[in-house]
Chains A and B, each alone.
Chain A
Amino acid sequence: MSRNDVLVSVDWVQEHLGQPGIVLVEVDEDTSAYDGGHIEGAVKLDWKKDLQDPLRRDHLDKTSFESLLSSRGIGNDDTVVLYGGNNNWFAAYAYWYFKIYGHRDVKLMDGGRKKWELDGRPLSKDAVERPATQYQASEPDLSIRAFRDEVVASIGSKNLVDVRSPDEFSGKILAPAHLPQEQSQRAGHVPTAINIPWSKAANEDGTFKSDEQLAELYAEQGFDDSRPTIAYCRIGERSSHTWFVLRELLGKSDVKNYDGSWVEYGSLVGVPIEK
């Protein structure tokens, strides 16, 4: 696995628009962004309505994921290129999600919507229809997904990477600063976690830093290559961005994303917390 297998540039996407076998998928935090203009031919996945179980706090089960991808016209053999707003947070989350269900060829567009927009590249408001498929997902690969008990058991033994901003890590604020700060759970972080904000892995235009810069970043922040790793944030999308960097770009082994993240951990009764 190398950068070229998992990441494509905006130029590459523009050159391959409309090519059979490649499906562009937009996943945004602001789920209205797609409707205001999207890359030509891209289909939309709504991270909240489409990618979450409608009742429980969890992913879709395998059958529902198959129905979702079939309805969007995504086939097992298609190359799926994900992009989105907010520096690709939710596109990275979808990337990790597609990997859990075993999609063979999935890539991120480096820089996402932001890079595309800052370059002044064209957006389309045309409705996108793709013929339905019969998508077959694999059983979920839980080797890349961490749950709460494993996080508690990992204190002091694994790399726990808290990718939130320093003020969230220290407990000064409870949520990213573009959201109201009304959550009721406790503030702070998992003891022994190191704070390496996701943003340190990205340039201002939303693209990822170079492999050399990334390797240096984690090394100097105390990341221990001999230990397994769990990344977390608030609800698991920023940590997907870091999971992508660690596992897919830097090729580190045994990296999991804890999508329960601080919203779950900070509400558990009796678990240790540091501030």
Chain B
Amino acid sequence: MCGAPKQGGALAGIDLDTQTVIQGQVWHDGAPVAGAYVRLLDATDEFTAEVVTSPEGEFRFFAAPGTWKLRSLAPVGRGERVVEAEVGLTETTVVLD
């Protein structure tokens, strides 16, 4: 898949007029979680993609407008969050417990 791009960071080079970007951070106990697995599930709960969070706990997906579920899994716990995405940037936080 051409190598997963580095997670998080600047949005330079990403065309937010055409791309639907869902990005955010994974948190646990008041701190971001590095190395957490985050998967993007579609409206039917089917797997669409999975990334590993950056050292700052960040993740990013390129999706399409609609309803998506983020599910995160890490040795410290798991968490979920549903988001409504539109063209442009949608930011969110997934908390593990």
Contact = CB atoms under 8 A, between A and B. Distances in A.
Interface of A: 29-31, 33, 48, 85-87, 89, 114, 117-120, 165-167, 172-173, 175-181, 197, 199, 204-205, 234-235, 237
Contacts of B94: none
A177 B21 CA distance: 9
Given A30-B52, A114-B37, A178 B5 contact: yes
20 contacts: A29-B1, A33-B52, A48-B2, A85-B52, A86-B50, A118-B74, A120-B75, A166-B44, A167-B48, A167-B64, A173-B63, A173-B64, A177-B40, A178-B4, A178-B50, A178-B62, A179-B4, A180-B5, A180-B14, A181-B20
A30 B74 CA distance: 18
Nearest to B68: A177
B24 interface: no
A29 B4 contact: yes
Contacts of A114: 37
A117 B48 contact: no
B42 A166 contact: yes
Contacts of B40: 177-178
A87 B64 CA distance: 23
Contacts of A33: 52
Give the 7 A-B residue pairs with the shortest CB-CB distance, closest first.
Answer: A199-B47, A177-B49, A178-B49, A176-B49, A177-B61, A177-B48, A165-B48
B74 A178 contact: no
A235 B19 contact: no
A29 B42 CA distance: 22
B73 interface: yes
A57 to B, nearest CB: 13
B59 to A, nearest CB: 8
A175 to B, nearest CB: 7
Contact of A118 (B47, B62, B64, B75): B75
Interface residues of B, number: 29
A176 B46 CA distance: 12
Listed residue (B19, B39, B51) with the most chain A CB atoms within 10 angstroms of its CB:
B51
Interface string B3-23: 111000000001000011000
Given A167-B64, A180-B19, A235 B48 contact: no
B3 A178 contact: no
Interface in B73-91: 73-75
A197 B62 contact: no
Nearest to A117: B35
Nearest to B63: A177
Nearest to A46: B3
Nearest to A205: B73
Interface in B30-74: 35, 37, 39-40, 42, 44, 46-52, 60-64, 73-74
B38 to A, nearest CB: 9
Nearest to A47: B3
Contact of A87 (B19, B50, B63): B50
Listed residue (B1, B3, B50, B51) with the most chain A CB atoms within 10 angstroms of its CB:
B1
A48 B46 contact: no
Contact of A30 (B3, B14, B62): B3
Contacts of A237: 1
A121 to B, nearest CB: 10
A166 B63 CA distance: 13
